[in-house]
Structure 1
Amino acid sequence: MGTLFYDGADGFTFDDRVLAHLQAVIATKLRRREGFLLLWMDRTAAPDATLRSIWLDPSISLQFVFAHPTLPELNRDWLTILTEKANGNGGLHLDDDLRAEIREEVPEGTYRSARKRVVD
């Protein structure tokens, strides 16, 4: 598990694969000087999940710390989905289903096919 340290906070843990994809999307947005909202269900802080949200802005300190010495391979489809979400009005809502696919707990493409069914 990697950790996202944000503005002096204790840190938020994510699977290294998830964190690597977040890092790529966040770095792109901040490099363009675009702030946005990141939301996720934090299941590490308490017995019950807590909805967390942070405003990411180029002026706020941010650090990514990975548990392993090499970054996981990035998946272009997941980056596209995360970027689309980050560019939307609701911010980047990191759904549990997408996180499960990125962690390889469900087959690749599961999130996208489920999303198409909801939209249709």
Structure 2
Amino acid sequence: MGQLIFDSTTRTTIDDRALAHLQIVMLNKLRRKESFAFSWKYPASEGDGRSTVWVAPELPLHFRFSGSRPPAINPAWVDVLMDSANTGAGLHLLPEPPPGSTPHAEPRAD
């Protein structure tokens, strides 16, 4: 399990594979100087709940992976996450679609 760290006070634990896909989406948006919200839910082991942070080019962001090898990237998952990041609700960690599929992010109800 890796960690996504914002400034030095806010962090969340995310599976390395999911974190690698989030990294691609976040860095692509930041490279284009685009700011966006990122929201996630906490697992029951951390008391449930959810958080949202504002991600902007001028704010520190740290991707910390626990594994030494980068995971295989599913382009369909990157597309789903990018579609999510481009909505008014911002980026959410959505489930991975099957490789080779061409899904689009569904509007969030929450």
Q: Same fold (TM over 0.5)?
A: yes
What are structure 2's unaligned runs of at least 5 residues? none
CA spacing shift, 1:44–1:22, aligned 2, 3 Å: farther
The runs of at least 4 aligned residues of structure 1 exceeding 2 Å deviation read: 44-47
Matches of 2:52 and 2:44, distance apart in 1: 15
* 1:70 matched to 2:66: no
Alignment of 1:37-48 (within 5 A): 37-43=37-43, 46-47=46-47
RMSD between aligned alpha carbons?
2.1
CA distance in structure 1 between the aligned counterparts of 2:67 and 2:22, rounded to whole angstroms? 16
For 1:74 and 1:9, how far apart are their aligned partners in 2?
29
Task: State percent identity of aligned pairs.
Answer: 36
Residue 20 of structure 2 corresponds to 20
User: How far has the Cα of 1:93 moved from its partner?
Assistant: 2.0
CA–CA separation in structure 2 for the residues paired with 1:46 and 1:79: 27
Contact 1:25 1:79 (C-alpha < 8 Å) held by counterparts: yes
Q: Provide the secondary structure at the position in 2 that maps to 1:11.
A: strand
What secondary structure is seen at the aligned counterpart in 2 of 1:67?
A: coil
Higher helix share: 1
Change (3 A) 1:19 1:29: same
Q: Distance in 2 between matches of 1:45 and 1:63?
A: 23
Return closer, same or farther for 1:44/1:62 CA change in 2, 3 Å cut-off: farther
Structure 1: runs of 5 or more not aligned: 103-107, 116-120
Mapped partners of 1:45, 1:6: distance in 2: 21
Secondary structure, counterpart of 1:71 in structure 2:
coil
Q: TM-score, normalised by structure 2?
A: 0.83
Structure 1 residue 33 displacement after superposition:
0.4
